[in-house]
């Protein structure tokens, strides 16, 4: 065994709609670097497609493993999880664990911060599956599996919704009958672990933004925007579910609800068919007919690929304006997640629509530079930044904080 991998660990599981990521953090008494150190990241991507792919890397980026499955052997979430668990067992024999942190997309109104999962908590989280059908079942399956395999091992659920729970009722409400608001039909907002991580980086990177009005843009396979005022979320583009707001890889983003009634009446679509349409057949994939993957769209000459990108950029620019209006102005913009971190072209196009907000882009910095960087000119009234997100580190921090506190007060 690698001597670095002795001691106690926290595992963190981020089960998405088409991938499972598992990261291992070791614990240390290091005042300067903090108690958590990333040791290994492992993931299976492309679940449900013809070409699932496993890859694992040590913290320094060196490869720890990889695997492809034969074309046509459709690997599901369960098979991927088994593979990851076996890999970790092999890499970390005799492993001692403090606990496991899980990303759980929906915490409803009841869960406003991370919690240690009990069978009762798990049962309540299961009732939220209809509110996040693409994510919640996959988030809860690894919890159930770990309960069965290691009943005494503490598990912590970290919610995508929690960071937004401080938003006002006015920001949260749909203008539906008030009884529905009371029954929990309201805006929740998602990608909260990502936004919380970015907010935690701002004091070191830009004190002005840490204390100011910022729109955070999480543009990945799922995409959303968040209005951050003095480090707190005050509004977000995602609503009751993670299908609202911006167009995404395969999700529609906001549509006129009248369209759904029309489709039910005229095309006799039922709830399941609408769910498939809105979550799996829309967004970049639905508009382009080419791919849900922004890299492929940017590389394509197909007119509809270009059209899909145009719609995406248009809606992102619109959302920035809407969230700036909620905050009464804007001091900065932050791009994060797959597209936000890696696509200079999308950032350039979005920022070219933000001149009215006082953004002046530094082209060379936008094209290239260290992963965390300012991409606006020094005299830009509104700052623009790229900050890679780290949902896993945020989850490891929450898990450590909760379990260390539990250990002190048994
Ligand atoms: N260099 C790049 N240029 C454009 N898009 C990119 C680039 N790298 C990754 N992406 C896009 O990022 C998206 C995936 O984002 P990511 O945050 O990794 O998703 P997930 O929600 O699965 O974690 C895909 O649309 C992918 O095409
Ligand atoms: C909430 C959500 O959309 O998550 P993801 O981006 O992982 O799909
Ligand atoms: Mg994501």
Instruction: Compute, in angstroms, the gap from residue 93 CA to the centroid of ligand 2.
Output: 32
In SS3 terms, 268-279 reads as: CCCHHHHHHHHH
Same domain, 134 and 236: no
Instruction: Compute, in angstroms, the gap from residue 22 CA to the centroid of ligand 3.
Output: 13
Instruction: Compute, in angstroms, the gap from residue 405 CA to the centroid of ligand 3.
Output: 29
Prediction pTM value? 0.94
Radius of gyration of the chain (CA): 21
In a domain, 240, yes or no: yes
Same domain, 334 and 255: yes
Q: How does strand 20-27 pair with strand 8-15? A: antiparallel
Which residues make up each annotated binding site? 14, 21, 103, 218-222, 293-295, 338-342, 391
Pocket test for ligand 2, best of 135, 189, 251 (most atoms within 8 A of CB): 135
In SS3 terms, 104-126 reads as: ECCCCCCCCCCEECCHHHHHHHH
Token digits of residue 259: 């369209």
Q: Is 247 in the pocket of ligand 2 (CB under 6 A)?
A: no
The total number of structural domains in the chain stands at 2
Distance from C-alpha of 21 to C-alpha of 103, rounded to nearest angstrom: 10
Same domain, 148 and 198: no
The list of the chain residues with pLDDT below 70 reads 1-7, 31-33, 409-410
Give residue for tokens 């991998």.
5
Q: Are 47 and 75 in contact (CB under 8 A)?
A: yes
Same domain, 245 and 129: no
pLDDT of residue 410: 58
β-pair partners for 35: none
Give the structural domain span for 232.
192-391
- Determine the Cα angle at 96 with ends 119 and 155, to 5°: 20
Instruction: Compute, in angstroms, the gap from residue 253 CA to the centroid of ligand 1.
Output: 17
Q: What is the DSSP string of 230-268?
A: TTEEEEES--SSTTSSS--SS---S--HHHHHHHHHHS-
- Ligand 1, pocket residues at CB < 6 Å: 16, 19, 220-222, 249, 293-295, 298, 337-339, 342-343
Same domain, 216 and 145: no
Which residues make up each annotated binding site for ATP? 21, 218-222, 293-295, 338-342
Distance from C-alpha of 26 to C-alpha of 39, rounded to nearest angstrom: 7
Same domain, 309 and 377: yes
**What CA–CA distances, in Å, run from 319 to 90, 246, 387?**
46, 8, 19
Sign of the dihedral defined by the CA atoms of residues 124, 130, 134, 138, in that order: positive
Strands lying side by side in the sheet with 232-236: 232-236, 223-229, 213-219, 332-336, 383-386, 373-374
253 C-beta neighbours (distance < 10 Å), count: 22
Same domain, 241 and 129: no
Question: By alpha-carbon position, which residue is closest to atom 22 of ligand 1?
Answer: 221
Same domain, 290 and 349: yes
Q: Are 331 and 209 in contact (CB under 8 A)?
A: yes
For ligand 3, an ion, list residues with CB under 5 A.
220
Q: Counting ligands in written order, which one lies closest to the CA of residue 298?
A: 1
The helix (H) or strand (E) run that includes residue 401 is helix 391-408
Pocket test for ligand 2, best of 220, 247, 253, 278 (most atoms within 8 A of CB): 220
Q: What is the CATH number of the domain that holds 245?
A: 3.30.420.40
Q: Is 22 in the pocket of ligand 2 (CB under 6 A)?
A: no
Question: Of all atoms in ligand 1, which is nearest to the CA of residue 21?
Answer: 23
Instruction: Compute, in angstroms, the gap from residue 49 CA to the centroid of ligand 1.
Output: 16
Instruction: Compute, in angstroms, the gap from residue 46 CA to the centroid of ligand 2.
Output: 15
In a domain, 34, yes or no: yes
Same domain, 143 and 270: no
9 C-beta neighbours (distance < 10 Å), count: 24
The helix (H) or strand (E) run that includes residue 408 is helix 391-408
Q: Is 222 in the pocket of ligand 2 (CB under 6 A)?
A: yes
Question: By alpha-carbon position, which residue is closest to atom 2 of ligand 2?
Answer: 222
Same domain, 142 and 207: no
Pocket test for ligand 1, best of 338, 349, 371 (most atoms within 8 A of CB): 338
β-pair partners for 101: 12, 156
Q: How far is CA 172 from the centre of its chain?
A: 20
- Determine the Cα angle at 245 with ends 243 and 250, to 5°: 45
Q: How does strand 232-236 pair with strand 63-68? A: unpaired
pLDDT of residue 46: 83
β-pair partners for 96: 8
**Can you state the angle between helices 391-408 and 192-205, rounded to 10 degrees?**
90
Distance from C-alpha of 63 to C-alpha of 383, rounded to nearest angstrom: 36
Q: Is 283 in the pocket of ligand 2 (CB under 6 A)?
A: no
In a domain, 260, yes or no: yes
Asked if ipTM goes beyond 0.90, one says yes
Token digits of residue 337: 């997640």
Question: By alpha-carbon position, which residue is closest to atom 8 of ligand 2?
Answer: 222
* Single residue among 137, 159, 181 that ends a domain in this structure: 159
Active-site residues, by number, are 160
Q: Counting ligands in written order, which one lies closest to the CA of residue 340?
A: 1
């Amino acid at each position: 065994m690698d001597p670095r991998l002795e001691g106690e660990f926290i595992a963190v599981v981020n089960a998405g709609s088409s991938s499972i990521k598992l990261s291992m953090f070791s614990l240390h008494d290091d005042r300067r670097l903090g108690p958590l150190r990333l040791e290994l990241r492992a993931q299976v991507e492309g679940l449900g497609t013809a070409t699932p792919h496993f890859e694992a890397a040590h913290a320094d980026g060196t490869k720890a493993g990889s695997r492809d499955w034969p074309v046509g052997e459709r690997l599901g979430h369960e098979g991927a999880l088994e593979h990851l668990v076996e890999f970790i067992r092999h890499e970390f024999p005799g492993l001692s664990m403090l606990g496991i942190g899980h990303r759980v997309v929906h915490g409803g109104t009841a869960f406003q911060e991370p919690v240690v999962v009990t069978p009762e908590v798990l049962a309540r989280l299961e009732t939220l599956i209809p509110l996040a059908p693409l994510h919640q079942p996959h988030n809860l399956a690894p919890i159930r599996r770990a309960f069965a395999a290691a009943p005494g091992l503490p598990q912590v659920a970290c919610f995508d919704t929690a960071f937004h729970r401080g938003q006002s009722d006015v920001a949260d409400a749909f203008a539906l009958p008030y009884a529905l608001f009371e029954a929990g039909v309201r805006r929740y907002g998602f990608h909260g672990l990502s936004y919380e991580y970015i907010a935690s980086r701002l004091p070191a990177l830009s004190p002005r933004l840490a204390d100011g009005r910022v729109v955070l843009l999480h543009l990945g396979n799922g995409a959303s925007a968040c209005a951050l005022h003095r480090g707190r979320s005050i509004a977000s583009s995602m609503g009751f579910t993670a299908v609202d707001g911006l167009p995404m890889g395969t999700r529609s983003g906001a549509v006129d609800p009248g369209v759904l009634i029309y489709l039910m009446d005229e095309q006799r679509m039922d709830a399941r068919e609408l769910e498939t349409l809105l979550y799996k057949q829309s967004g970049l994939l639905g508009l382009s007919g080419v791919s849900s993957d922004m890299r492929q769209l940017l590389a394509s000459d197909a007119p509809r690929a270009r059209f899909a990108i145009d719609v995406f950029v248009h809606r992102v620019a619109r959302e920035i304006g809407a969230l700036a209006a909620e905050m009464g102005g804007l001091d900065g913009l932050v791009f994060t997640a797959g597209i936000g971190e890696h696509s200079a072209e999308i950032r350039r196009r979005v920022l070219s629509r933000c001149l009215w907000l006082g953004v002046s882009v530094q082209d060379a910095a936008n094209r290239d530079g260290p992963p965390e960087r300012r991409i606006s000119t020094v005299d830009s009234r509104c700052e623009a930044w790229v900050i890679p997100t780290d949902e896993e580190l945020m989850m490891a921090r929450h898990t450590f904080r909760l379990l260390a506190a539990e250990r002190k007060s048994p």
